[in-house]
Amino acid sequence: MQKAKLARKIDADHQTIVRLSDRVSVGGQDLLIVGGPCSVENSVQMEAVASRLAVSPVQALRGGVFKPRTSPYDFQGLGVEGLEILAAVRDRYGFPVITEVMAISQIETICQYADVLQIGSRNMQNFDLLKAVGQVDKPIVLKRGLAATIEEFVMAAEYILSHGNPNVILCERGIRSFDSYTRNVLDLGAVVALKQITHLPVIADPSHAAGKRELVADLARAAIACRADGIMVECHPVPEESVSDARQALSLDAMAELAESLRAIATAVGRTIPFKAGSLPRLSLV
């Protein structure tokens, strides 16, 4: 890891805290819990997600509007309409919102709506895209490539850092292996290693790793137990009807329950999950 000049941890206290909004950050004492659907589908769906998660420990919303789908015939995302829906729930409930950017041409538009940009696994080594988000004034969630080594992952972060953006959150989301029972293998060894090697916040996405909803909660808890700085989990008002990644989606109640269950583990590893004040809908007084 010699070449990782900027991502490398200098000493044990070297830790970057990335701010997602005025109230939400990751890398410090508080754990970050991100929930939301794989894809933004419509405003009724996102209103249901946000209103339920507003009264849970979840602090940030996710939702894809430009979707990297294996088949070109599958739902590709709502695009700008989806960004407008995300921004509406953000404004109403006060959640920072995270969405994926797949191309340099989308950056400017996404930045007008989202708080955090996600670089998906399939683009982890899209070096031109990494350089471009390095010039953006928003935090980046960088997901580990499907078959990327830890060193390649850190060097991808180095691209963003070296182009001027210090706010990178690493996301372990599972890597390919031989076993098709799980979609991918959640590499908790990488979480531990990345926490030792880099000063960047490290979160885990057990949804894309497991691929099956019944595996997600325990993997999320395991990630927090091994000192991940947070989790990102897919959930949906009617999980079986999700337009993408239905098999791994949690119900909103299961998401809230998972978030609550992390408190005991957080305490055990010296972390906290903030109790939310003021996260209920911002009702306008007329």
Instruction: Give the other-Cβ count within 10 Å of 11's Cβ.
Output: 7
Binding status of residue 195 toward ligand PEP by CB under 6 A: no
Closest to ligand PEP by CB, 27 vs 64, is 64
Binding status of residue 64 toward ligand PEP by CB under 6 A: yes
Per-residue tokens: 118: 């996600």
> CB under 5 to 8 A by kind: which of Mn ion, ligand PEP, none does 68 bind?
ligand PEP
- Of these, 7, 31, 33, 38, which contacts ligand PEP (CB under 6 A)? 38
Binding status of residue 38 toward Mn ion by CB under 5 A: yes
Which residues inside 5-24 make contact with ligand PEP, applying CB under 6 A?
none
Which residues inside 110-129 make contact with ligand PEP, applying CB under 6 A?
120-122
CA distance 214 to 218: 8
Is residue 224 a contact partner of residue 262, using CB atoms and an 8 Å limit? yes
Closest CA to 36 of 132, 130, 115, 146: 115
CA distance 228 to 196: 11
Closest CA to 117 of 127, 125, 130: 130
Q: Residue 174 in 3-state DSSP? A: coil
Half-sphere exposure of 70 (CA within 13 A, CB side): 3
Residue showing tokens 């996301």: 171
> CB under 5 to 8 A by kind: which of Mn ion, ligand PEP, none does 173 bind?
ligand PEP
Smallest separation, CB 173 to ligand PEP (Å): 4
Q: Residue 218 in 3-state DSSP? A: helix
Closest to Mn ion by CB, 247 vs 263, is 247
Which residues inside 153-192 make contact with ligand PEP, applying CB under 6 A?
173
The amino acid occupying position 197 is I
> CB under 5 to 8 A by kind: which of ligand PEP, Mn ion, none does 120 bind?
ligand PEP
- Of these, 93, 168, 245, 256, which contacts Mn ion (CB under 5 A)? 245
Q: Residue 209 in 3-state DSSP? A: helix
* Residue closest to ligand PEP (Cβ): 120
Q: How many residues at the interface with Mn ion, by CB under 5 A?
A: 2
Helix intervals (H) in the chain? 43-53, 80-93, 104-113, 127-133, 150-162, 188-197, 206-210, 213-225, 252-268
Smallest separation, CB 97 to ligand PEP (Å): 13
Residue showing tokens 């490539």: 145
Closest to Mn ion by CB, 67 vs 195, is 67
Smallest separation, CB 248 to Mn ion (Å): 7
Binding status of residue 211 toward ligand PEP by CB under 6 A: no
- Of these, 29, 68, 81, 164, which contacts ligand PEP (CB under 6 A)? 68
Per-residue tokens: 14: 């070297």
From 34-42, 87-95, 103-111, 225-233, give the range in contact with Mn ion by CB under 5 A: 34-42
- Binding residues vs ligand PEP (CB under 6 A): 38, 64, 68, 120-122, 143, 173, 208
